[in-house]
Amino acid sequence: MIRVMLVDDHEVVRMGTESAVEAAEGMTVVASVSDGSKALSEAPVVAPDVVLLDVLMPGIDGIETCRRMLEELPETRVVMLTSHTDEDAVFAAIMAGASGYLLKNTSSRAIVDAIRSVAEGRSTLDPSVTAGVLDRLRAADVNSGIPGLRDLSEREHEVLLLVAEGLTNLEIAERLVLSPHTVRNHVSSILAKLDLRRRSDAAVFATRHGLTDADGGDSTK
């Protein structure tokens, strides 16, 4: 059972999202609060697997709430929800550790799918903001000095980038024309070289640090 926490200052939004989550198989809402302060105090008590977190709230905003929550509950996954397509906010959310970013006008089914996706260790971004944000991450020249990153082969860089995009091993295999077994080996090697334990850790690592090839271009091209 996926334990979900809802954080939004609009009660109508929380009620609608709660109905969708409770109607979905295999998940339940363990808390529904109206601001970041309440979320930070209640999250350690209810131990949510996934938090749906509004970006713009009075008091502590969603970005700062996400950052503080993940410092205390690193196993929790956060999906940011917003009414606006703001590339800066999306980038800030990812750098704060969020695993997903969706617009509030997204369908109930898409929200439920996003909850499942991040609970399984994948990341998810609304299609309307994905391209710009991933380009920005790829262009971020922050790789130097990061332990283990330079040990990755060119192919492992490609796989790590696709893991960060939320692709499954099968999808990565199809994209790179590899066997799923080879992709699994690459993912295992990436985790070992970066001293990470889980696939989701690799996705968070990639989004926090950015991904560029030697000449600063897109390593998947």
CATH assignment at residue 122: 3.40.50.2300
Specify the 3-state DSSP secondary structure of 124.
strand
Of 94, 112, 135, which marks where a domain is finished? 135
Q: Strands, E, within 65-193: which ranges?
A: 77-82, 100-103, 124-125
Write out pLDDT tens, residues 54-63.
Answer: 988 888 889 8
* Domain match, 26 and 118 both: yes
Separation of alpha carbons 55 and 79, rounded Å: 10
CATH number of the domain encompassing residue 183: 1.10.10.10
Could you give phi then psi for residue 54, rounded to 5 degrees? -70, 140
Assigned domain for 91 exists: yes
Tokens 């609304």 -> residue: 126
Q: Between 103 and 78, whose confidence is greater?
A: 78
Amino acid at the residue 186: H
Write out pLDDT tens, residues 61-83.
Answer: 898 899 899 989 989 999 998 87
* Domain match, 122 and 58 both: yes
Of 116, 135, 154, which marks where a domain is finished? 135
Would you say residue 130 has pLDDT above 90?
A: no
Which residues span the domain enclosing 10? 2-135
In angstroms, the Cα distances linking 126 to 43, 59, 114, 202 are 25, 26, 10, 20
* Domain match, 125 and 106 both: yes
* Domain match, 49 and 131 both: yes
Give residue 121's pLDDT: 85
DSSP, res 98: -
What's the total number of domains in the chain? 2
Write out pLDDT tens, residues 162-221.
Answer: 888 888 889 888 888 888 899 999 999 998 888 888 888 887 777 776 553 333 334 333
* Domain match, 117 and 153 both: no
Separation of alpha carbons 47 and 84, rounded Å: 29
* Domain match, 162 and 121 both: no
Sorting pLDDT into bands at 50, 70 and 90, what band is 90? Answer: confident
Enter the tokens of residue 3: 């334990």
Separation of alpha carbons 199 and 187, rounded Å: 7
* Domain match, 13 and 106 both: yes
What whole-number percentage of the chain has pLDDT above 90?
A: 37
Assigned domain for 216 exists: no
For residue 150, the tally of other CB atoms under 10 A from its CB is: 10
Task: Give the mean model confidence (pLDDT) for residues 41-66.
Answer: 93
Half-sphere exposure of 170 (CA within 13 A, CB side): 0
Pairing of strands 77-82, 124-125: unpaired
Would you say residue 36 has pLDDT above 70?
A: yes
Give residue 103's pLDDT: 85
* Domain match, 55 and 124 both: yes
Give residue 134's pLDDT: 58
Of 103, 135, 167, which marks where a domain is finished? 135
User: Lowest-confidence range among 10-14, 44-48, 97-101, 113-117?
Assistant: 97-101
- pTM of the entire predicted model: 0.62
* Domain match, 61 and 148 both: no
